[in-house]
Structure 1
Amino acid sequence: MSRLRIILWSLVAVIALLAGALWIVGDRLMAPQGGRMIGAANIGGPFTLTTHDGRKLSSADLAGRPFAVFFGFTHCPDVCPTTLFEMSENLKALGPDGDRLTVLFITVDPERDTRELLATYLESFDPRIIGLTGTQEEIDAVVKAYRATYQRVPTEGGGYTINHTASVYLMDRQGNFAGTLDYHEQQETQMRKLRRLIER
């Protein structure tokens, strides 16, 4: 066997070994750990907040149920009422399956959004939507866990409004991130995502 052929076969063997090693490493990186996939979006986490009717609700209470999370505030002029209206319409369109999905509206303005104000605000939307508030520290922890953002913006007269993430986070029954509903997305697209979430 010529020296060139020996070198070529040696290169083939090295490449095969490297490919095998990469396959093993990749397989381990994608192995589930604690209900999440390494490399998948690390969005979500444990929380305990107060509902608009005065109950304590934790992420543990949602175990085994898919849920959707939307961050907003009751003084929001457009994004929040539009999104909550769309979610109300989606729940109705899901029919009986709508009862299998928990929808959470988490305020990013706990200073003004008391549970009583949340309760009054949510009367305009589907009664299955749950409003959540808490201390500023509790809210900030949930916002951080979901990689959402918000920023208080001063307005004339000493008031303020808030710029915030407009997407709805979809979480599966294991509490894993499953995607988002985007603002002004077509209802057909949203319904397809929600049905897939409920059935997974």
Structure 2
Amino acid sequence: MAKKRLIRLLVTLVPALAFAALVAWWLGAPPSSRPASSASSTGAAPASGGGGQIVPGVAVGGPFTLVDQSGKTVTEKSYAGSWRLMFFGYTFCPDICPTELQVMAQAMDQLGAEGDKVQPIFISVDPGRDTPQQLSDYVAQFHPRLVGLTGTAAQVSAATRAWRVYAAKVAGDDPENYLMDHSTYVYLMDPDNRLATIFARGTTAEDMVKGIREAMAKGAAGK
């Protein structure tokens, strides 16, 4: 049994670590050496539901079906036409999640009128505890436009796989009070649900605003 658990952990963790290493390289590389997204480098249309690549061979994003904080079922099409600033975490997170959501909220405020084009989204990786009501109370603490999404375990798992998000329950004795280990990137998706850029943990609100504006300008120039 222990061997099987180790194999399952490696199957889940290795792709996530590989993606993290690729993203870390991309974020640290000079702009001239960064590969373009699949849409811009090949000219090909994205797969159904969107998605894109920051590094060759690593697709990020796609279709999803989840439930928002009001209990309404939503899909990627619910936000069509808007830029999406997305973060995966959970409401019981003691530090990283509230910190990143606060940065997202500050970035939204600093964008001013441009912020109307951006939909901030918080997707729970802890569907067992993060009910729509729990999310409603939580996201209201950060920004009035922040949307919280949850769903069944299968729905959440499908979304985390599409965005290459690592998430796993930290082993403990208490089945109700536990921590979740998860990746901490903020994803910017364009109005066609294609990946525009990724912000690493620790990005300031000012740098996030700069990145969003650069992506918007690039998107406008490409039309």
Output the TM-score relative to the length of structure 1. Answer: 0.79
Number of corresponding residues: 172
CA RMSD of aligned residues (A): 1.9
From 36, 48, 67, the equivalent of 2:65 is 48
Distance 1:55 1:129, change over 3 A: same
Compare 175-184 and 31-40 and name the one that shifted more: 31-40
Report % sequence identity: 33
- Structure 2: distance between partners of 1:172 and 1:62: 10
Name the counterpart of 1:187.
205
Distance 1:60 1:191, change over 3 A: same
Name the counterpart of 1:3.
none
- Structure 2: distance between partners of 1:187 and 1:90: 5
Query: Contact 1:70/1:166 (CA < 8 Å) preserved in 2?
Result: yes
Q: State the SS of the aligned residue for 1:57.
A: strand
Deviation at 1:128, TM superposition (A): 0.5
- Structure 1: distance between partners of 2:127 and 2:152: 7
Indicate whether 1:133 and 2:145 are aligned: no
Query: Contact 1:41/1:177 (CA < 8 Å) preserved in 2?
Result: no
Compare 72-81 and 49-58 and name the one that shifted more: 49-58
Structure 1, unpaired ranges of 5+: 1-28
Output the TM-score relative to the length of structure 2. Answer: 0.72
Name the counterpart of 2:193.
175
- Structure with higher Rg: it is 1
Equivalent positions of 1:95-110 (< 5 A) are 95-110=112-127
1:80-131 CA deviation, whole Å, 9 max, x = no partner?
0001111111111011111110111000001000000111111211010100
- Structure 1: distance between partners of 2:46 and 2:81: 15
Q: State the SS of the aligned residue for 2:215.
A: helix
Deviation at 1:189, TM superposition (A): 1.7
Query: Contact 2:104/2:205 (CA < 8 Å) preserved in 1?
Result: no
Deviation at 1:187, TM superposition (A): 2.7
Deviation at 1:197, TM superposition (A): 2.9
Indicate whether 1:116 and 2:128 are aligned: no
Indicate whether 1:164 and 2:182 are aligned: yes
